[in-house]
Structure 1
Amino acid sequence: MSLAMSLILLAAMFSTLPTTHADTGFIYHTCEKTKNTTMCVAVLRDDPESAKTSTAHDLASIALQIALNTADHNGAVIGDLAKKSQGTPQGDALAVYHKAYVGAAMDLDIFGRNDFDGGDYAGTSNSLSVAKGASDACENAFEGIGKIPPLPPLIS
């Protein structure tokens, strides 16, 4: 997911790329600008909407949607785990984890999406920073009880 987020930031820098159909080469060349080209390509090629895009900005929009969907899904999974573990140290850590994921998803959905769609990439970047803080809170909650979080960080 963090690579999808990296692509969002790249859209601000590369949205002036010439319009082209998002074939594998276009996706690959756009993803080359991320920290992990292979994962970026795999994530975007796995989404059928990517093949319909015509700009790096369109790919970044898809990446943002993937990130939002992942945060929503993971938040639901963590919420279920937290309910099953109430009253235990792991349950408390999962409750922190759940709150962080829900908050990050809401921030990305409300502010990140609006900022991105409005061309405010600095605002989008701020939402990504908030999501990174949520990931840190999750890791700290589990570190406090000496366990590994059940899911990878939202943003790394």
Structure 2
Amino acid sequence: MQAAMASVSTFVAIFLVLLAVVSSDLLVAHANTDFISGTCNKTNNPALCISVLTAKPRSSHASTEHDLASIALEIATNTAKHNVKVIGNLSKNNQSTPEGFALAICLKAYTEATSALEIYANGNFQIGLYTSTLDNVSFAMGASNTCKVAFKRIEKKSLVSYIDREMKEHCTVASNLINLLVHK
């Protein structure tokens, strides 16, 4: 009988410990979601900001606007790098075509955007030159427009309109969050 009661007591103790752990994690996650929402509400497009940041699990650990801006800059940089790979693969399959010509322009634009973000924007951000960082992000965002124009010139539907839109959105979120730091 005592063994059964000890077993029940152990089970209840373990259950209460697990409940406490889960509850505290939920409270922290909720608090971080509130922080992300509160910060994103200061931007031009809160819904987009929240959507982009909550897709990155590391955002839930951010505790400052600087942290969130850094994460958004990382997301934009990773998007540019990913887009270079996608466009590079598409270029191989469309050589000697009008689409291949447009993709070559896109590839150059996204390669330059990646450098602008990875080297210049990141470096400027790390040393607190937020206005320069914004210029770098704005330059990188232009890759999507350059690509759009390249396909428009050949009067063909863009093969990369989805990634162009994503690049523009991710750079917009990064710009909006970095802009919050400019006046501090």
Q: How does 1:8-47 map to 2 (within 5 A)?
A: 23-47=32-56
Task: Please report how far the alpha carbon of residue 130 of structure 1 lies from its aligned counterpart in structure 2 after TM superposition.
Answer: 1.4
Q: Deviations over 1:81-125 (max 9, x none)?
A: 011100000000001001101110111100000001110011101
What is the aligned partner in structure 1 of residue 168 from structure 2?
155
Q: How does the TM-score come out when normalised to structure 2?
A: 0.69
Task: Choose from 106, 122, 126 the match for 1:97.
Answer: 106
Identity between Structure 1 and Structure 2 (%)? 47
Cα distance change of structure 1 residues 44 and 133 upon mapping to structure 2, 3 Å threshold: closer
Q: Could you say what the CA RMSD is over the residues aligned between the two structures, in angstroms?
A: 1.6
Distance 1:92 1:35 in 2: 35
Specify which structure has the higher proportion of helix.
2
Distance 1:27 1:104 in 2: 26
Q: Structure 1 stretch 72-81 or stretch 124-133: which is displaced more?
A: 124-133
Does structure 2 retain, via aligned residues, the 8 Å contact 1:28–1:37? yes
Task: Please report how far the alpha carbon of residue 76 of structure 1 lies from its aligned counterpart in structure 2 after TM superposition.
Answer: 0.4
User: Runs of 5+ in structure 2 lacking a partner?
Assistant: 1-29, 170-184
Q: Deviations over 1:28-62 (max 9, x none)?
A: 01111223211211211111111111101100000
User: Runs of 5+ in structure 1 lacking a partner?
Assistant: 1-20
Q: How does the TM-score come out when normalised to structure 1?
A: 0.81
Select the structure of larger CA radius of gyration. Answer: 2
Does structure 1 retain, via aligned residues, the 8 Å contact 2:91–2:103? yes
What is the aligned partner in structure 1 of residue 18 from structure 2?
none
Does structure 2 retain, via aligned residues, the 8 Å contact 1:71–1:101? yes
Q: How does 1:79-94 map to 2 (within 5 A)?
A: 79-94=88-103
